[in-house]
Structure 1
Amino acid sequence: MWVPILLICSLPVSGALWAEKYLSGVVGRAITIDCYYEAKYRSHTKYWCHGWTLQCSVLVETNGQHRRSGRVSIADNPEEGIFTVTMEDVHSRDTGRYSCGITTPGANPMFSVYLQVSNAEQTTTQSMNTVNFKNKENHQSKSYLIWSVGRWLLFALLGICTISINWFMRESKKPEELSSQLGP
C-alpha cells in the first residue's frame, strides 16, 4: 500500500524545468532552445536528448561548461537558471520530439519540445504556441501549483484511507470475538 504513495511523492514537479513547447527551424540554419530551471538545480548536469521519455538518446550534456557534440552544443548559465542548446545546420530529418533534462538522484525532470524543420521560413513571427519566458517570476503554471498541492493531498487521502481500512477491519472482528467468548 505504501509503495504507490512513495512513488507519487517522488515524482518530479512539472514546473521544475520548462521551455518553448513548439519550435520551428529552417533547413541549413541553426536553432537555439532556452531551457529554464529552478535554482535548486544549478549544480546538476543538464542535457538535451532526442525523444521524450527517460529512454531518450542524449545528444549533448553539460556540468556547467560549454560542450559540443557534432552539430549540437549546450551552455549552462546557473545564475540565470537557463541552459541553452544550439542545433546547427538543421535538416528536415531533425524534425521530432526532443527534451531538456536535468540529471538528479531520483527521477530526472524533463521537458518535451517538438521541433519542426521546414524548407522555407515561416511567415508567422512566433512558432506554434510559444510562450514568452522573459519574466521568470511569471512562469509558474496552474498545473505546477495543482500538482504541488495535489500530490500532498493525495498522499494525505491515501493515508486516511489506510487508517480507515485498518480501523474498520479491527471493528468488524470485535463481534466475532465477543460471540466466541460467550459461547453457544
Structure 2
Amino acid sequence: MIKDDVFRKTEGHLYRYYNTLKKIKALEEECKELEKQKEKIKQDLKETKVSIDTELNMGIDYSRSKIQTSNDGTSYAEKALVKEIEKLEKEWFYVRKKYLKKRIKIRELERQIYTLKCNLLMLSEENKRFLELKYGDKKSIDEIAYILNIARATVYRKREELIEDIARWVNLIG
C-alpha cells in the first residue's frame, strides 16, 4: 500500500496525461483545418493570378469616355487586383504561422508525456482500457465496474495496483 500523497500525485500524473492527449488531438484537428484553409487560399491565389493575366490582355475599351490611369501607368482595376492578391498572401502567411505554432505546441506536449506514454504502452490492453476509463473518460468506480463487468472491490484493487506500479515508474516511490 502506498501513501495517500503519492497516490494523489500519481493520479494527478494520469489525469494530466489523458488531458494532454485530448489537447494534442484537438490541436491536430485544428492543424487539419488550417491545412485546408491554406490550400483554399493557394487555390484562390492561382485563380486570381490567372484572371489577371487574361484581363490584362483584353485590350483597350475605346467606347468609354474616360479611362482611369495613374502616374505609373497602372489602372485602378490593376491596383485593386494587386491589393486583393496581397491580402490573400498575407492571409496565407497568417494561417501558415498559426499552423506552425500549433505544430510546435503539439511537439512540446508530446515531449511532456513521452516517459509516461512509454510506460503505459507496456501495460496489458485490459489495464490500458481501465486507465483510459478512469483517468481519460473520468468514469466513476461504479461505472467502470459496470463497463468492465467486474466487482467494485476488484476495480478498487486494480486501481491500487496500477497506481503503485505507475508510481514506481515515475520514481515517486522506491
Which category describes the TM-score, using the shorter chain as reference length? Answer: under 0.3
Which structure: larger Rg? 2
Q: TM-score, normalised by structure 1?
A: 0.23
Of Structure 1 and Structure 2, the greater helix share is in 2
TM-score by length of 2: 0.24
Structure that is richer in strand per residue: 1
